[in-house]
Amino acid sequence: MDPWLIIGYTVIIILLFIIAVISSAIWPTLIGAVWIPTPRETARKMLELAKVTSEDIVVDLGSGDGRIIVMAAEEFGATAFGIEADPLRVLWSRTVIRRHGLRDRVKVVWGNFFSKSIAAATVVTVFQGQAINKTLQPKLSTELKPGTRVVSYSFPFEDWDPVETQIKPNLFLYVIG
């Protein structure tokens, strides 16, 4: 093979790798919380607190490796989708969803949750920071239907009164009025 062709392919592969790493490691930190997975036991408590059933559409904002949406479908019978900015985690979670045979009920949308519709949700799970919760609150108030449950791990929504609070792990349940 022509050595210039080999060099060309190598450069393209390296560039693609750099783009993937940058969009995976940097973009999410500019628009929200970095990836720290919710412990599975806490994820289960979030879904229990929201009383998720097979009637629900669960949306995880910043769905990471997909553990909450997979659990919502597998253990609670819900339909679920996640919105995740990190392309590598989107690929990973889609693989997990396929492996669990849940492609008909669980999806992951790649992108910024601030610019995606969440109006279909009946339950929303959130593990972001205090500042992101503050900017997220108007979107949740505007888009979600009355009666939609919102569960936040670690950080409350400052301007709302939770209908239930748990400590260790810190969970806050809200119901849209």
Which one of residues 50, 56, 62, 79 is an interface residue with ligand SAM (CB under 6 A)? 62
Which of residues 49, 59, 83, 108 is near ligand SAM by CB under 6 A? 83
CA dist., res. 101 & res. 124, Å (int): 23
Residue 68 · residue 98 · CB < 8 Å: no
Report the residue closest to ligand SAM, judged by CB: 32
Q: Among residues 38 and 148, whose Cβ is nearest to ligand SAM? A: 38
- Minimum distance from residue 4 beta carbon to ligand SAM (Å): 38
Site for ligand SAM in 1-30 (CB under 6 A): 28
Number of residues that bind ligand SAM (CB under 6 A): 23
- Taking a C-beta distance cutoff of 8 angstroms, is the pair 50, 151 a contact? yes
What burial letters (b/e) apply to 149-161, b meaning 16+ CB within 10 Å?
A: bbbbbbbbbeebe
Orientation angle between helical segments 3-25 and 87-99, nearest 10 degrees: 90
Residues from 102 through 121 that contact ligand SAM (CB under 6 A): 112-114
Total H helices, total E strands in the chain = 6, 7
- Which residues in this chain contact ligand SAM in the complex, by CB under 6 A? 28, 31-33, 35-38, 60, 62-64, 67-68, 83-86, 89, 112-114, 127
